Structures are given as structure tokens and as C-alpha cells.
Amino acid sequence: MNELDSLRQEAETLKNAIRDARKAACDTSLVQATASLEPIGRVQMRTRRTLRGHLAKIYAMHWGSDSRNLVSASQDGKLIVWDSHTTNKVHAIPLRSSWVMTCAYAPSGSYVACGGLDNICSIYSLKTREGNVRVSRELPGHTGYLSCCRFLDDNQIVTSSGDMSCALWDIETGQQVTSFLGHTGDVMSLSLSPDMRTFVSGACDASAKLWDIREGLCKQTFPGHESDINAVTFFPNGYAFATGSDDATCRLFDIRADQELAMYSHDNIICGITSVAFSKSGRLLLAGYDDFNCNVWDSMKTERAGILAGHDNRVSCLGVTENGMAVGTGSWDSFLRIWN
Amino acid sequence: MQDQVDGMELETLYQRYCIRLKHALFLSCLSVAAATSAGLLITTCVMEDLTIGLLPITTMSILTFALFCILLASQFPIILESDAWALVSSLLIAVIVTTSILLLGQRHAPLPLFALLLAIHTMLPLSRAVALALAAVVTAAYMGWSIADRVNDERHSHYLQLIPECVLLVTASCTGLYYRHMTEAAHRRTFVGTRTCIESRVKLECEKEQQEQLLLSVIPAYIAAEVKRSIMLKMADACNEHSNRSFHEMYVQRHNNVSILYADIVNFTPLSEQLSASDLVKTLNELFGRFDQIAQDNQCMRIKILGDCYYCVSGLPVSRPNHAYNCVNMGLQMIEAIRFVREATGFNVDMRIGIHTGNVLCGVLGLRKWQFDVWSDDVTLANHMESGGIAGRVHITRATLHQLGDRFQVEPGDGIGRESYLADHKIETFLIVPPKKPESEAQNGNAKPPLALSDRHNSICGDGMYGMATPSGPPTRSRPSSKMTKYVECWGADKPFANIAESTLAKNIELTSGSYQKTLAMIESNLLPDRNTCLECKKSWNSEDLHPALLWFRNRKIENEYRSQPDAEFRCYIAFASCVFLAMCIMQVATIPRTIVLYGTLAPTFVVLTVFVYLCWLDGCCSPRPPSDTPADEPGACSPPGEVVTGSRCLRLAIFLVSVVLISACAAVTLVDYQPVLIPVASEGVVRKNGTNATEEEGEHSMETLPTYLYSSVLSLAAISVFLRMGFLLKLCLMVASVIIHIILYRYMDLFNDPHYDKFSAIPLEVKSALVLTVVVIFFHILDRQIEFTSRTDYLWKAKLKVEQEEVETMRGINKILLENILPAHVAEHFLASRDTQELYHERYSCIAVMFASIPNYKEFYDESDVNKQGLECLRLLNEIICEFDKLLLKPKFSCIEKIKTIGSTYMLASGLRPGEEENSTEASRKEEHIIVALVDFAVSLMTSLDQINRDAFQRFKLRVGLNHGAVIAGVVGAQKPQYDIWGNTVNVASRMDSCGIMGRIQVTEETAKILMNAGYPCECRGMTYVKGKGNLTTYFVKTPFDDK
């Protein structure tokens, strides 16, 4: 016990040393640096489409790379692929386990993946020869729920799980290629860098970690949040990322500076953040909140630039299209909305 | 085997469907033929010189008579449906009509023969082979006759004329075959589509029913209905942007004047401790199943089972005048029932029953794990009546006694002496004097001194129902458990969801035969048109969705959708139209002077048609697109023209019109060239009009060309008609226009001046030609109409099915959501999936963390007055609190936590209830830590959220939490209203940790505290704490951020 205590103390001092070093390296703040920047004014977006069809809470959504189709997962046990232009359902995929928590669209548009409390990542092939949608692969191996998954390509997928790990899978063989261990709480979210070589993960241990996919190692750890991190997203240029947490703040971390750059919070906002996404330029940070709203932040000036109100329940997921033309939000009120 | 039978049955059904359709056509065709022949007969009789025209009249009479006879006979369904009759009548018709046409039509015979061949292929109820043979025979007969006639008649032997005739007849057969093929394919598609639709719907319905039964066996129907309605409403006004819901919906109703019965098994805990998991669940199920039965007999509604406590209400949901009487009877019977157990096992178990009459609020609270419950001061009182009662006796209040009248003997109960709550509220109590069996009374009453009142406070502010009755002495006999189990088994109480088991069994049987029959019946009733559909109008006259004459949908939207459907067969139409055009070309080239005009018109038309055909066929089938490289939803720039044509209605219409007009024009355009030649002849023709002998060349000339032109007209009609799904009215108009223009043109060109080569010399040739063409048009129209009608009804039916299917699916989804809200997911799955639900559900877990979180000061807040609608508003706040708590459960990191139930204001949870695998030791210890940490985290979240509610509602609620871990037994008990629950000492201790804890703190046992400290959660020792039923235990408080508040 004594040894344990001393070790604990040592860890504490090391942490403090790191924090001090970071502080020393921080010579300016983002707000100061961007003081001369033109303000963007008020951003007003309206609901252009409402996608109705789910019967229960929507837990996740993800845009396809064509910026038109999107996939959403709901706890009614359905995965629905929508055509956001026409609001038609392209596919409605009944799932084996209705406790789904995440879904992902492959960049090629041929596959979707989902997973949840069944601890399995299921890959569905949308373009089979027979024309129907079927499970093409199931990836068991996690011992906790699947919290997030993202395709690298048609044969590789990265998953994060409640068993405190992330994993890279080879879909063809169904094997875990790499396991990313290091978090001390449930990993809630991951985001792939634009070059697909690294990814960041956010976890219930209030830290975010940057991982190298090929080496399988944690490259950087970003503490700072006071509560569980629910969402992470890469800045479009790949040198920074934003997180959303239960402590009612979003934060921007810079990878090259190894620093927390900015915090997006407001006294009136006391609820947790469920999802975050950047606009195509990165100037706007959109975040979905537990209080049924979605706030638009000016990521450079850390000011609130707008609000998307319309959902009748917690906004659980959010995504910006690849072409930056629209943002989709999914909510526990069982509807998806497309805004711009 | 089954499949084959299915296939056979379906096949016959399909055959019947086709035959039914064909009969309609047959009758229509017969009617038209009969009408035509009758008309012709009458005209002949009127106009012809009877002596000359004996042959036509007799033939016509026989023909008409035969047709009418067949028509009449076919009105009888039995005759109509027999195969033999179909064959005989068809053959008869074919033979008679052919003979008469040959006899009377002579050289003009090919035109009526065209109609006949068409009818043989498409309308007569013949198989394809027979129809082909018959057509061949007819064609051969005519050709033979024609050649023979030409050989005999040297003067008019235009052998070239044979080519158009032959071509025409062959084209007639081809058209007939084409029709037959296309319609059969369409019918097959319709049939298969309908079948799959219906089958999937029946399946969905079965599934839905199953879920519904499961649901209804858990919560009362009216609550389920209300919840479903609200979900539907919520879905309906989805676009409602600004719904300001300050409160969650609460499904609670108030009922006045009901009787509440509380029953408790005294001394059950020592008994239960000796039972194995399955025995315990079995025993509880048998016992409570028995009670459920008694409750049902006495019109009481069982509300809940809490550990070994059982309570029910009479007068719910339907108000009954004799509710108090029912309750007392029920209590007496329960005492009787437990007496058997006691005698059989020798275990000193008994019932203690308290009854009170008053008002209740009933319904469900929170968002998850609904259990129907009742709340009110009267319920609390009834609970205290029970705890202040005497084992083996029914303890009632004055209010109940008042309701009873004098149907029972009572004696003073003196509840005040035993229960402080009763004393505080000065409740006058009575004990029912059991009406019979004095000897058993003597046995009981003496055998047992009033048992030490156990310490349970089963109140609205639930101090925990998991009371441990203090073991009152060692069991009198050893090993009572097996006997007990065995004994109670003989009661044969229903298993949970037994009703479902039966129905699923029934469903299973049905699925093989019954639902199949249902499917068949549905297909039949929807596909088979009325059998006496004469001109197919009859049905559409009654149909409210279709316009009777136009066959349009009454609903504009459906009409538009129907019209804008893609038509995958369009390329077949255009291809066949081109073939018809080719046939026409051959005819014209063979007989008409080959002028520049002829080639000048035929060639461009041919080119245009070829382009069309090429465009329409240029499609995936020629060059399969590389799959998956170009998603289908990309802008249609690269999609092949064939697909565009298939998809675009305007384009199809344009192609149709252009082709039809071109073909139609080609049929007659050479007359332009013909005119100058004929003009001098025409003047002669006027002179010649009265004289019958024509000059040879002119006769030959017109003789050669007129039939060709007429044949061309017929072919252009066919070309119009082959565009099957083009809208039959448009086609009719085009056909009529084409016929009129052609006839007028021919008339104007004086083509009709040739001598009559048939037996109807009295009727002008143009009229005859027009008549024949009209008959052909009518035939085509009937076919078109039939196709249009079937495709439209099919579309309508499909649309309807789709809507219905969506409805069923929605309902199914809602049921599923509700169900999974009531039972843990894996348990619901167990009951839905396993056909054999006779097996009781129970599972033993070695390590489960159990937490009780109560709000002790809610009791002070609760108050029944007129201001707060007799407590309803107080309950609303409780509902809000529980909803907030339930919402926390939805966080992924709390996914291992399962809410068991709420008991008054106590929230009961367990974590680690995952079915199946018990891991190895290292895994297990990790899991142990994980589940306890998760529960502690959850407790902190609960406190945070309660804090927030306090701020909003200006209250000072504090949470008192007790936590323990260890082995538990989980299972589902209760036959009428199955409930998922957990039992075991672990649960009892956890409940105690709560009830003897301190407000605002989390109290845990020593073992749990050790694990928590290992995990880095600081704990603070409370010291020795007296725990009722357990003696002194060392307990700990977990440090939380709320400690100092």
C-alpha cells in the first residue's frame, strides 16, 4: 500500500511537471491571436429537411462521402440510410440487437457499420449482388459496448469501446489488427484525421488521446476536461481537434502545440455535450447539447455564433457533410433534421 | 414437403386467378361477337333480297344462334368454369366463325379472321398450345381456300394478293401471342408481388400480436393503449416545432372508492434461504400464481409483488360496488391457501392481511421499467393495516367495514396497540371472524402466538420491502424446501406468460396451415375479380377508388404516382410495334406500286423506329455497368437512355405518339401518290357506280390495293394497341381517329368501288370495312381495358398493402419499445424468442451490485388535498424525479446498470445483470470492481440531478443510498402480470443499508467498501451499525462531493 501511495505521488508530480511545462510553452491565447480577425456575425440556419421514420431515440448518424446519403441508428433496432435530398429511405436495415449506439458510412458508400451494447461491430453491405442489404461481417472481440466506429476504407475500421480500448479491424478476416490501450475510462468517441494516419479518442477518464494507427501507440494525451468526454472531432486541417464533454464545455486542442487552445462554454449552458463537428473551413464548431439545442461556436473567437433549436429531446448526434453544405442532427425525439 | 404443397396450392390459386381474368375476357368477346353477328343478320334481313341472300341469312342465323347459346350457357358459373366446356365452346366458336367467315366473307375474309385469331389467342379460354394449333388450322384453312379460289377464278387470280393476306394472318397470331405473353408475365408478377406482400404482412402481424400479448400481460390494457396513443400522437405532430413540455407525461389516473388489500407471508425469509434459485423462483411463482388466481376469482387486480409481499386492489379499472367484499373474500382464501403450505411443509408460514377502502392514484411512473402501481394515503394506511395485523387474520378498517355491510362477522381489531401509525391516525380496526371451519381455527389460533411483527414498513415512502422477517425459531422439520416446492407445484399455477406460450403454440400451428390459409384467402379475395365481370365494369362500378368509366383513381395523388411509374416493358412495346410496321412494309412493298413516295415514307419511318428501339434497348443488359463504381443516385447524366425512357413518362408518351402517327400515316400515305393515277378513273367511277361491271385493269388495280390498305389500317391499330400501359383511353381515341381518317380517306379516294366479293352485296363495302375495323378496335379496346384495369387494381392494392404494412410495422415497433421498457432486453428476448415458455425464467448470479436510493423526506412533501388534486401534483413531482433518474440510466457508461423498479420513492437498481457467462477469477474481480464503481458513479449522478431538481422546484429532497454486492437470484414471477425481480440476502442487506443510512450519504457494507477503496474511492468508516435482522455490521460511507452540503 505504501509503495502504491508513493507511486501515486510520483505520478502526480509528473503530471504537474507536464502541466507546468505546457503552461510555460503557452505564450499567447487563441483569443488574443485572433483578436484582429473579422467577426462572422450571427449564423442562422434553418431546418431544411426533417427525416421521419425512426420510432425511438436516435443515437448516431454519419454522412456518406457523397454528402447526400446519411445513415442513422436508432434504438428501435433499425439502421436507416436516408437520401437527404428527397428524405426518402434508401435502406431500412433491421438489426439483430436493438441496442445500437453508433453507426458509420464507408467512404466508398458500399458499407455501413454499427454497434452498441452487443459489443459487436456489424458491417452491412449495401451493394450486394442480390440487391438486398445483409450483414457482411461481424467483428466480436470488445468486452464492453461499442461507442464509436469509423471506416478507414472498405476493409479497415477503427472502433472505440466501453472496455476502455480502441481497435483497428481487418474486415475481410474479421480480426483485430491493433488494439489501442491506455484509456482509464470508457472510450466514448473517436475521430479520424483527414490523412487517415492518426485518430483521436475521447473517454470517460476526461482525457483525449492521439493515436498512430500504424504503430498502434498513443502519441499524445490531452487532459483538461473535468468530466467525461463524449465527442471528438478533427479540425479540417488535421492539426487540431475539438472535444465535447459532460462538463458543459467544448475545448479545442492543438496537436503541434500540444496545448488546449480554447474553451467554448457559457454560464447559461449547464448540460453536457453529446456531439461536435466542424464546418468545412473549421471556422464554425457545431455542438449538440443535452438541453435539446445545438450551439454554433465561432471556433476562433470562442463566441457563440448561433443556435439550432428545434428538437424536442436531447441532440444525440451531429454531422457536417463533406462538401460543407449542410449539417445533420439526430435527436432522442426520433427525428433527424438537416440544416443550412 | 410443406413447401411443395404450398407451391401446389399457390399454383392452382394462380391458375384460378388467370382463368378468372380470362373468363371476363371470354364473355366480353362473346358478347361483342354475338352483337355483331346479330346486327349483321338484322341488317341483311332488312336490306337483302331474301331470295338471293338465303345463304348469308342462314349462316348468319346459325352463327348468331350458336354464339347466343354459348353466351347464355357461360352465364352459369359451373359451366363457365369447367375445362371441358372451355375447350368445347372455344373450338365450336372457332369452327363456326371460321366457316361463316370463309363462306360469307370470301375474299374479304382476312379482316374478320384477324379479329378471330386475336380472340383465339387472347380471349378464348384455351391453353397456349391449343390456341396455337387452332390459329394455325384457321390460317391454313383460309390460305387453302384462298389459293383454291384463285385457281378456280382465272379472272381475278391476283396471286400477289396472297402475300398481304398471309402476312396479316401471321401478324394476327403474333400479336395475339405477344399479348398473351405480356399479360401473363404481368399477372405472374402481380400475383407474386401480392403474395410476398401478404405473406410478410401476416408474419408481421403474428409477431405484433405476440408482443402485444406479452405487453398486455405486464401492464393493464388501458394504460398500454394510452401510452401507444401518446407515442402515435408524438410521431404525428413531428413537425410541431415548439412543444413546450415542462413536465414529462404521466400516466396516472385517480380512482375513488376502491379496496386495497396488502398481504404478507410471515416467516417466508427463513424458508426462502433454504431454497435453490430455481426452487425459489418456482415456489414464489406457484405461490403468487395461486394468489393471482384467487385474485382473479375475486375480481381483484394484483398490483405488485415486493419480495414476499403481495398487494392487490378491487374496483380497478372498472368500478365495482362489492369491492370490499371481494377483498375480504380474497384475504380469507389466501389464508386458506397458505394453510395448506404450512401443513404440508411444517414450516410456520402464514399470511397477514390488511384491507382498507379509499381512493388511489394508479398508473406508471418514470420512463423505464414500468410497473403498474397505486399510490395514496389510503394505500399507505392499508399497508400499515397489514403490518399491524395478526397472522392468519384479515384486518380491516372501519371504512371497509362500512362497505361490507353485515356480510361478515367482525370483532374489534385493536390495531392501535400494535402499530404506531394506526395509533397516530386513530384508526379503528376490526378483524374478520372466519365464517367457517372452526376446527382449523382452533388449530391455527392456538398453534401460533401472534408472530413478532416484523419490521417492514411497506409504505408509499417505501422503506424497503425486502424486509427480513426475523427468524422466529428454527424450522420444525428439516429439508422443507423440496417438499414445499413439490407441494406448491401441485397447485399448478400458471407459468408467467403461459397465455403467450399457448398462443404462440397456436400461432406455430397456424403458421404452417392456418396463416397460410389466411394468406391464400387474402390473396384470393383481393386478386380474383367478381366472377360475373362482364365488361369488367361491374366491379369498377362499385369500386370507390376507381372512376367507373375512365378507370382513373379518384385520388389525384395516386393517379399521378401511378402514371409516373417507370415502365420497364416499354422497350418491348416499341420493339413489337416495329415488327408490326415491318409486316406492313412487306405488305405494301408486295402489292402497291413501288413509287418514290412509298419508299420515301417507309424508309424514314423505319429509321425513326429503329432509333427508338435502339434507344430503348440501350441499357444495362447490353453493356452491364461496372458495379459500385458509380452510385445509382448520382445525377443521371451517365445513366443509359433506356433507363431514361423507362423512367420518364413524357418521353414515353412522345415516343409512343410519334411512332403511332408515323405508322398510321405510312398505312395510307401512298394514296398521295395514288391520287393522280386515280383521278381520271374516279370520274369514270362515278359513272360506273350504278353499273356493276368494272373494267378489268381498274378492277384489278383497286382490287390489288384496297385490301392492302385495309390490312395496313388493321396493323396500324395493332401497333397502337401493343403499347400496353399507355392509357387505354388515349389508345382508344387514337384507334378511332385512325379508323375514321383511313375510312374517309379510302372513301374519298374511291377505293371502295370494286365489286363485292362476299355475300353481303346489299351493304356498302365501306360500311362493311368500317364494321370489321370497328370490331377489331373493340377487341383491342377490351384487351386494353382489361390490362389497364388489372394493372390499376394491382397498383391500388399494392399501395394499400404498403400502407397497412407500414402501420403494422409501426405498431410492432411501438410494442417492442414498450416491452423492452418493461423487461430487461435479454429477458424480453427470452420470452419472445423461446417457443417453450413453459420453462420459468431464472438465473443465479454470483456477483451483482444492488443499490437502493430513497428520498426519505418525500413522505413529508406528499399530501392529499384539493389544492394538489388529491396528491396528483405531488405525484407529478415524484414522476419528474424518477424521469430524471431514468434519463441518467441512458448514458452509455451506465449501460451495465439495470433498473429493477421503484417502490414508492425508493429507486432500486442492480448492476452486472448480464446473461450468460461467468468469467474466470481475474475477469470476475475486474467486473466486480467495474459494476460497483458504476453504481457509485450513478449514485453521485443521482444526487447531482436531484440537486438540480431541488433548485428548480424549491425543495430540499435528499437522497439516502444503500449499496451492497453479492449473489442474487433473478427471475420472472407472476402468472397474470409477470414481473422481473431479484432476490437474495444481498438484496435484503442493500435495502437495509438504505433504510438505516443517513440522508445525503451512500452507505455500503464492509466488503463493498474494500473494493471501492481499491478502486480509489475514499470511504469513511461509520463504525458498528445496528441493522435490523442482521445484528451489528461494520458499515462505511462513500465520500461524495455532496458530503458537506
Cβ distance of B814 and A55 shorter than 8 Å: yes
Q: Write down the mean pLDDT value for chain B.
A: 73
Give the residue from chain B lying closest to A228, CA to CA.
B893
Please report the pLDDT score of residue B466 as a whole number. 42
Alpha-carbon distance B832 to B841, whole Å?
12
Please report the pLDDT score of residue A218 as a whole number. 92
Model confidence over B41-82: pLDDT tens digits? 787 777 766 566 667 777 778 888 888 888 787 777 666 667
Q: Which of B242, B251, B194 is nearest to B220 (CA)?
A: B251
Q: Which of A194, A295, A199 is nearest to A249 (CA)?
A: A295
Model confidence over B470-516: pLDDT tens digits? 333 333 334 445 555 555 554 544 555 554 444 444 444 344 445 55
Point out the least confidently predicted range of A90-104, B157-171, B995-1009. Answer: B157-171
Alpha-carbon distance B371 to B98, whole Å?
81
Q: Does B31 touch chain A (CB under 8 A)?
A: no
Please report the pLDDT score of residue B673 as a whole number. 58
Name the DSSP class of B589.
H
Q: What percentage of residues in chain B have a pLDDT greater than 90? A: 1
Residues of A at the B interface (Cβ-Cβ below 8 Å)?
A: 47, 50, 52, 55-57, 66, 68-69, 75-77, 83, 90, 98-99, 101, 108-110, 117, 127, 129, 145, 147, 162, 185-186, 188, 204, 228, 310, 312, 333-335
Measured in angstroms, the CA of A7 and the nearest CA of chain B are apart by 14
Measured in residues, chain A has a length of 340
Please report the pLDDT score of residue A89 as a whole number. 87
Please answer whether residues B849 and B984 qualify as being in contact, where contact means their C-beta atoms are separated by less than 8 angstroms: no
Q: What percentage of residues in chain B have a pLDDT greater than 70? A: 74
- Looking at residue B412, its amino acid is P
Residues of chain B in contact with residue A90, where contact means CB-CB under 8 angstroms, are: 633
Test the B interface: residue of A12, A98, A229 with most B CBs within 10 Å: A98
The minimal CB distance from A109 to the residues B238, B243, B631 is found for B631
B97-102: average pLDDT = 78
Cβ distance of A55 and B825 shorter than 8 Å: no
Cβ distance of A110 and B628 shorter than 8 Å: yes
Alpha-carbon distance A169 to A151, whole Å?
10
The secondary element (H helix, E strand) that includes residue B523 is helix B515-527
The minimal CB distance from A162 to the residues B238, B633, B892 is found for B892
Please answer whether residues B937 and B851 qualify as being in contact, where contact means their C-beta atoms are separated by less than 8 angstroms: no
B948-954: average pLDDT = 85
Count of CB atoms within 10 A of residue B650's CB?
Answer: 8
> What's the grid cell of residue B229?
396513443
Please report the pLDDT score of residue B693 as a whole number. 38
Catalytic residue selected from B869, B876, B927, B1028: B1028
Packed helices B570-591 and B649-688: angle between N→C axes, nearest 10 degrees: 20
Cβ distance of A334 and B235 shorter than 8 Å: yes
Q: Compute φ and ψ for B849, nearest 5 degrees.
A: -95, 135
Model confidence over B326-375: pLDDT tens digits? 888 888 888 888 888 777 767 778 888 888 988 888 887 877 777 788 88
Cβ distance of A55 and B893 shorter than 8 Å: no
pLDDT band at B531 (very low <50, low <70, confident <90, very high): very low
Residues of chain A with confidence (pLDDT) below 70: 1
Q: Does B3 touch chain A (CB under 8 A)?
A: no
Model confidence over B700-742: pLDDT tens digits? 444 456 777 778 888 888 888 888 777 788 888 888 888 888 8
Please report the pLDDT score of residue B755 as a whole number. 54
Cβ distance of A162 and B243 shorter than 8 Å: no
Catalytic residue selected from B201, B208, B992, B1022: B992
The secondary element (H helix, E strand) that includes residue B653 is helix B649-688
Please report the pLDDT score of residue B837 as a whole number. 52
Test the A interface: residue of B196, B633, B823, B888 with most A CBs within 10 Å: B633
The minimal CB distance from A55 to the residues B634, B813, B895 is found for B813
B129-134: average pLDDT = 85
Alpha-carbon distance B969 to B276, whole Å?
9
Please answer whether residues B250 and B814 qualify as being in contact, where contact means their C-beta atoms are separated by less than 8 angstroms: no
pLDDT band at B752 (very low <50, low <70, confident <90, very high): low
Per DSSP, chain A holds a count of helices (H) and strands (E) of 2, 28
Cβ distance of A50 and B817 shorter than 8 Å: no
Alpha-carbon distance B428 to A236, whole Å?
77
Note which residues in 188-247 of chain B have CB less than 8 A from chain A: 231, 234-235, 238-239, 241, 243, 245
The minimal CB distance from B810 to the residues A55, A90, A162 is found for A55
pLDDT band at B627 (very low <50, low <70, confident <90, very high): very low
Q: Does B816 touch chain A (CB under 8 A)?
A: yes
Give me the DSSP letters along A29-86. -HHHHTTTSPP-------EEEEE----S-EEEEEE-TTSSEEEEEETTTEEEEEETTT
Higher pLDDT, B912 or A194: A194
* Active-site residue flag, B1028: yes
pLDDT band at B662 (very low <50, low <70, confident <90, very high): confident
pLDDT band at B1034 (very low <50, low <70, confident <90, very high): confident
Q: Which of A150, A148, A183 is nearest to A165 (CA)?
A: A183
Alpha-carbon distance B907 to B939, whole Å?
11
Alpha-carbon distance B921 to B914, whole Å?
17
Point out the least confidently predicted range of A213-227, B122-136, B217-231. Answer: B217-231
Model confidence over B364-393: pLDDT tens digits? 787 777 778 888 888 888 888 888 888 888
Residues of chain B in contact with residue A50, where contact means CB-CB under 8 angstroms, are: 238-239
Give me the DSSP letters along B8-77. HHHHHHHHHHHHHHHHHHHHHHHHHHHHHHHHHHHHHHHHS-TTTTHHHHHHHHHHHHHHHHHHHHHTSH
Cβ distance of B892 and A56 shorter than 8 Å: no
* Active-site residue flag, B992: yes
pLDDT band at B685 (very low <50, low <70, confident <90, very high): very low
Query: In degrees to the nearest 10, what's the CA dihedral of B976, B982, B988, B990?
Result: -130
> What's the grid cell of residue A20?
507546468
Please answer whether residues B837 and B217 qualify as being in contact, where contact means their C-beta atoms are separated by less than 8 angstroms: no
Please answer whether residues B548 and B672 qualify as being in contact, where contact means their C-beta atoms are separated by less than 8 angstroms: no
Q: Does B814 touch chain A (CB under 8 A)?
A: yes
The minimal CB distance from B627 to the residues A56, A127, A228 is found for A127
Strand order in A111-116's β-sheet? A100-105, A111-116, A121-125, A134-139
Alpha-carbon distance B647 to B641, whole Å?
10
Please answer whether residues B708 and B592 qualify as being in contact, where contact means their C-beta atoms are separated by less than 8 angstroms: yes
Alpha-carbon distance A299 to A315, whole Å?
20
Does residue B310 carry a pLDDT above 50? yes
Please answer whether residues B927 and B912 qualify as being in contact, where contact means their C-beta atoms are separated by less than 8 angstroms: yes
pLDDT band at B780 (very low <50, low <70, confident <90, very high): confident
List for chain A the helix, strand, coil content (%; round to 5). Answer: 10, 50, 45
- Please tell me whether residue B1035 adopts helix, strand or coil conformation: strand
The minimal CB distance from B241 to the residues A56, A188, A310 is found for A310
pLDDT band at B440 (very low <50, low <70, confident <90, very high): very low
> What's the grid cell of residue B354?
390488511
Cβ distance of A162 and B627 shorter than 8 Å: no
Contacts of A130 (CB under 8 A, 6+ apart): none
The secondary element (H helix, E strand) that includes residue B401 is helix B398-404
Model confidence over B563-593: pLDDT tens digits? 777 777 787 888 888 888 888 888 888 777 7
Strand order in A146-153's β-sheet? A146-153, A156-161, A165-170, A175-181
Model confidence over B756-775: pLDDT tens digits? 555 566 667 777 778 888 88
